[in-house]
Amino acid sequence: MRSPHPQLDQDGNLKHLLTIDGLNRELLSEILDRADGFMSIARQAVKKVPLCRGKVIANLFFETSTRTRTTFELAAKRLSADVLNLNISTSATAKGETLLDTLRNLEAMQVDMFVVRHASSGAAHFIAAHVAPHVSVINAGDGRHSHPTQALLDLFTIRRHKADFKRLRVAIVGDILHSRVARSQILALRTLGVAEVRVIGPGTLIPACAEEALGVRVSHDINEGLRGVDVIIMLRLQRERMTSALLPSEHEYFHLYGLTEERLAIADPHAIVMHPGPINRGVEIDSQVADGRHSVILEQVTNGIAVRMAVMSMCISTQNLALQAGAYPEGESHG
């Protein structure tokens, strides 16, 4: 039987996590359920479980990201894996070695999983297509394409505050055009059957034909777009958008699209406020809102560890099933 998607094995189990696209509601729910089970580990005296003992997980971050890299590292260590953090700026890749040569050398060190963050869209898919059969790849963000674990931790955070996805109205505010986070969030929310997803931002930062292409409601007026919503997700505004003439200034952006207490009051009284981080205070969001009672931004960081534990453990479980079944030719597996 052929796998229904390159990130799944022939039985539909998670082998890689490259994108939300292609994952069904049942698999997304399974990831979230497993993450629920890992939440209590942080409260234990020994914050470890042996699910990945003996496995080697390599973090390959070709882009800097303190929050994502740290939570992946903590997640792997809490699963009892051995973690290898490759410093790309001083690695052989920076000295001219090809990416594939780097991968082959790491595989020779018996690495079982690569966590990859890269500025090029499709980089994680490329790596997954070229690693040995027993190795899993998790996409920690690639170009403008995808950031699946961020979307999953956002879903997990929403689920812990809101009982029924099917009744939710979710607004995503900011630079939709360039955001891998937004693309993954929209796919995940629609897969779980959210009632309505709204995207809010200036016309220069919203994809053309977004309503048809993404299945969302588009608004260029934040006051209109936030009316009655249950979840508000603010996106980080990258400063290079200012220099590329897509926006006039940070001050003007905040005036038109920044989340203030007055604008938050337009939403449902029990709405939650989210942000993938890092926050630009006074640009995307006012400090009173970021630190206020509606904000779950720090919860997102905490929840990210449990969600990444869930994804890693599911991929390793798929590896173990294949090993037990003798799916890997001799010399192509270890562990």
| Whether 119 contacts 63, CB under 8 Å | yes
- 19 known member of a binding site: no
- 67 known member of a binding site: yes
Task: Choose among 195, 191, 235, 198: nearest CA to 216.
Answer: 198
- 117 known member of a binding site: yes
- 95 known member of a binding site: yes
- 236 known member of a binding site: yes
Cα separation, 174 vs 265, whole angstroms: 19
Cα separation, 124 vs 131, whole angstroms: 11
CA 312 to each of CA 76, 96, 113: distance values in angstroms, whole numbers, following the listed order: 7, 30, 8
Cα separation, 43 vs 161, whole angstroms: 20
CA 278 to each of CA 113, 127, 199, 260, 331: distance values in angstroms, whole numbers, following the listed order: 26, 27, 20, 18, 43
β-pair partners for 259: 285
Cα separation, 254 vs 243, whole angstroms: 16
As annotated, the binding site for carbamoyl phosphate includes 67-68, 117, 147, 150, 277-278
As annotated, the binding site for L-aspartate includes 95, 180, 236
As annotated, the binding site includes 67-68, 95, 117, 147, 150, 180, 236, 277-278
